[in-house]
Amino acid sequence: MLAALATALEMTCAAAQQSSPVAATAPAFKLLRYDEDYSYLQDPARRSDFWDPVKYIPISASGWFISLGGEVRERFEDYTAANFGVPGKQGDSYLLHRALLHADLHAGEFVRGFVQLGNQLAPGKDNAAPPYSDRLDVQQAFVDVRFPLKERVADDPFLRIGRQEMAFGAQRLISIRDAPNVRRAFDGARLGGTVDRVRVDAFATRPVQLRDGVFDDRPNHAQGFWGAYATVADSLIPHSGFDLYYLGFENDHALFSTGTGGERRHSIGARVFGRHGDWDWDWETLGQFGSFSQRQIRAWGFSTDTGYTLAAYDWKPRGGVKATMGSGDRNPHDGTLGTYDGLFPKLAYFNQAGLIGASNVIDIQPSLTLHPAPALKLTLACDFIWRATTHDAVYTSVGIPIAGTAGHPGQYSSSQFSVDAAWQVDRHIFFNAGLVYMDISKALSTVGGHNTTFTYIAASYTF
């Protein structure tokens, strides 16, 4: 049956590629839409896609042009017990609707303005608050100014001011938060550029505080986020790139298992990633220090993702193992907070259900990825999750401690089994679906948690 399905999908994808020259000429859409460059479309001979007339609209003889684009995504989700059913078992089934539309103005070679509007709705969802619902607002709005250097470099330095999305590295600490409806954005300034093989970005921002009305989102003045992130594309480590970063974060209303208070946290970390032959790897580690209320912060975390692909075989199977550890607070009375803070991570950190985060956690996740057809990917994975210390709580993906779990005996938190399918039908159309089953520990069941099944199916059209 699987072989028949794979054959059918291969025939469908081949037919789509033969019927459209776009597959061979037009670039794929990017995660951050402002990274796309359609200046090549000033050559009419290179226009092959239905949307090309709005991707490059010349407005002056001096090289000014506008590019329009957008995305519509519909996603259905179902939890048999939302938030593990704490408190009280309660299922939740709902639709997530997201529509994004942007305009990208290039005013010559060195000035650029980008505006993106978003409409996000969550019909049927219990307590449909942000980041699930935001009826109409500015998702991004910024101005770039480039500073040309005398010598030609890979990417001239630029200054970006305004509301913007950011994603760095493997998105373990700074992500766009794509799984829920409203993608994450920041208000502030960013200075970046690439010289030789080194890309450097420095930024000072405030996270956008979402509200579900119309044009009512504001910068969150209770939080600040700043830092510098450098990437060496070809480092001294063979076949590897290398990231080095400093991230600063302050939060006037931080919440941990020991209580609430003001948090000022500094993170210094490094990441090594690469591929050689059939092996691939992505390893990251960091240390955190600072203060929380009257306590000192001493926390740390690391994450690894290592895989081996049998590229010569059908379906190109990749076996992989992820390992993650985020420190917990071993002694709530010693004047030190040891809980790792994931800052702004992907909410689907371990899987699409996104119920447990990387604070006070030890996680091992073996996985198998298959490609039955060139455009189809299947991933099977299982997570085995423990707390780093029982003196600290089980934390959700947004870093909120689950009440009653701190101090409860038993390090084991849950086992989570997931199956995901992703099908890139063509350049514009994408489908994905999956299922996650979570078998919880006594520490969670004692406070009212339940074993949970999560299912989702989504379709998107991008232009």
pLDDT reported for residue 12: 40
Q: Would the pTM of this model clear 0.85, i.e. be above it?
A: yes
pLDDT reported for residue 233: 85
| Residues 297, 318 contacting (CB under 8 angstroms) | no
Tokens of 267: 């993170």
| Residues 271, 240 contacting (CB under 8 angstroms) | no
State the average pLDDT over residues 143-165: 85
pLDDT reported for residue 154: 59
Residue 216 CA to residue 133 CA, distance in Å, equals 12
Q: Strand pairing partners for 264?
A: 250, 291
pLDDT tens, position by position, 69-124: 999 999 999 999 888 878 766 889 999 999 999 999 999 889 999 999 999 999 99
State the average pLDDT over residues 340-357: 91
The three-point CA angle 63-39-243 to 5° equals 120
pLDDT reported for residue 281: 97
pLDDT reported for residue 24: 45
pLDDT reported for residue 148: 83
State the average pLDDT over residues 229-249: 92
Largest CA distance in the chain: 71
Encode burial over 95-122: b for 16+ CB neighbours within 10 A, e otherwise.
ebebebbbbbbbbeeeebebbbbbbbbb
pLDDT reported for residue 6: 43
Euclidean distance between the first and the last CA atom of the chain, given in angstroms as a whole number: 34
Of the candidate ranges 18-32, 212-226, 267-281, 323-337, the one whose mean pLDDT is the lowest:
18-32
Could you please state the CATH topology (level 3) that the domain comprising 2-462 is classified under: Porin (2.40.160)
Tokens of 160: 């970006």
pLDDT tens, position by position, 49-68: 999 999 999 998 888 999 99
Q: How many Cβ atoms sit within 10 Å of the Cβ of residue 379? A: 17
Residue 8 has pLDDT above 70, yes or no: no
- Going from N- to C-terminal start, the domains of the chain cover 2-462
Residue 441 has pLDDT above 90, yes or no: no
How many helices and strands, by DSSP H and E, does the chain display? Answer: 4, 21
The percent of residues above 90 in pLDDT, for the chain, comes to 76
pLDDT reported for residue 152: 53
pLDDT tens, position by position, 276-299: 999 999 999 999 999 999 899 999
pLDDT reported for residue 175: 96
pLDDT reported for residue 368: 98
- Res. 14 pLDDT band, cuts 50 70 90: very low
Tell me the pLDDT of the chain averaged across its residues.
Answer: 91
**Which residue is it, tokens 């849950």?**
414
pLDDT tens, position by position, 184-214: 999 999 999 988 889 999 999 999 999 999 9
C-alpha distances (whole Å) from 51 to each of 37, 41, 105 are 14, 11, 17
| Residues 422, 456 contacting (CB under 8 angstroms) | no
Of the candidate ranges 148-152, 354-358, 375-379, the one whose mean pLDDT is the lowest:
148-152
* DSSP, residue by residue, 65-91: EEEEEEEEEEEEEEESSGGGGSSS---
Residue 179 CA to residue 77 CA, distance in Å, equals 11
Q: How many Cβ atoms sit within 10 Å of the Cβ of residue 306? A: 14
State the average pLDDT over residues 211-231: 97
pLDDT reported for residue 151: 64
Residue 343 CA to residue 32 CA, distance in Å, equals 20
| Residues 283, 294 contacting (CB under 8 angstroms) | no
